Amino acid sequence: MALILNRENVRELLDMRDAIDAVERALVEFSAGQAHMPVRVTTRIEKHSGIALGMPAFLAETNALATKIVTVYKDNPKRGLPTIMAVVVVNDPETGKVVAIVDGGYLTAVRTAAASAVGTKYLANPGARVLGILGAGVQGESHLWAISEVAPIERVVLYNRSRDKAEAFKAAMEARHGKRIEIASSEEAVCRASDIVVLATTAANPITRHEWFRPGTHINAVGSHSPGARELDSDTVADARIVVDSREANKVECGDLLIPLREGRITEEHFTDEIGEVARGLKPGRRTNDEITIYKAVGIAVEDVATANLVYRRALERGIGTQVDL
């Protein structure tokens, strides 16, 4: 028998604070060599402007095994569908038996933001109170929730190219989180106003400039996860203290870093530190109040495994989900 957990089940079971803790432990395990995880397998469906990804991982200390299968179709919103859709298959690590199939859409939104919260916890200035968000999609929503868990956010500044989407985001998120949200006129206005900036767009070319960021700004860059696309400009990347989720994954997938690398603006030494190493105290986080810091995440499978394992264990405890005979 396997437990089926749909989106509403996952939403009921998954709390952001606990997700942040689970993802941080997974990132520490990963950087300590206690996880087995290949760089994800990418299948491009160019005919339909999509990609399919396979993301397996085993967390040895947590003793959790799972694989996420995720698709990213940029044109889906025009069809009334989410850009990202996913399922996570959870296995018994001792036998390999499938014990759960978990909706991965909401889980992905939460775990991605939870990882950024870990980056923010160790890299943002302690007094950071203004959160800037570029992108009013699902990741913008989940990042507002997650960053508010680790920083004393008092003000939120948002920009989205669709004013209607920005207005809908403002109404929904003010009601949900009780924080004042201002809609800015441009990406520049958001960057200049903010202590912490979240880049959560599908942009293929830079949407920022180095001179827009205030000294001491922390940036969570999560929108780009392919070699030819980036949200960050090369000047910002070259000047910043960069910490990544995975060195190897970023060397393969991250246009935000690979493009400046090809331009000769940075070397691989510029992004060797992983957030799991920072969390363990092996590498420094923020070094000065004025430096710009970037947490660059392409999203790695250990985050999904840790989050799906948390959801599965809670479902068993609470008797939530549907058992099926596969």
* Token pair in block for residue 53: 């990804």
Q: What gap in Å lies between CA 323 and CA 115, rounded to an integer?
A: 30
Provide the β-strand partners of residue 219. Answer: 197, 294
The CA-based dihedral angle spanning residues 271, 205, 189, 162, taken in that order and rounded to the nearest 10 degrees:
-130
47 classed as catalytic: no
Pairing between strand 41-45 and 50-59?
antiparallel
Residue in 47, 68, 165, 251 annotated catalytic:
68
- Pairing state of beta strands 322-324 and 64-73? unpaired
Interior/surface letters 277-288, b for 16+ CB within 10 angstroms, e for the rest: bbbeeebebbee
Supply the DSSP symbol for 325: -
Q: Which residues have C-beta within 8 Å of that of residue 236, sequence separation ≥ 6?
A: 208, 209, 210, 213, 219, 292, 294
Residue with the two structure tokens 């001792």: 94
- Nearest by Cα to 119 from 147, 161, 86: 147
Largest CA distance in the chain: 58
Distance CA 34, CA 25 (A): 11
Beta bridge partners of 324: 2
Are 239 and 268 spatial neighbours (Cβ–Cβ below 8 Å)? no
What amino acid positions are annotated as catalytic residues?
68
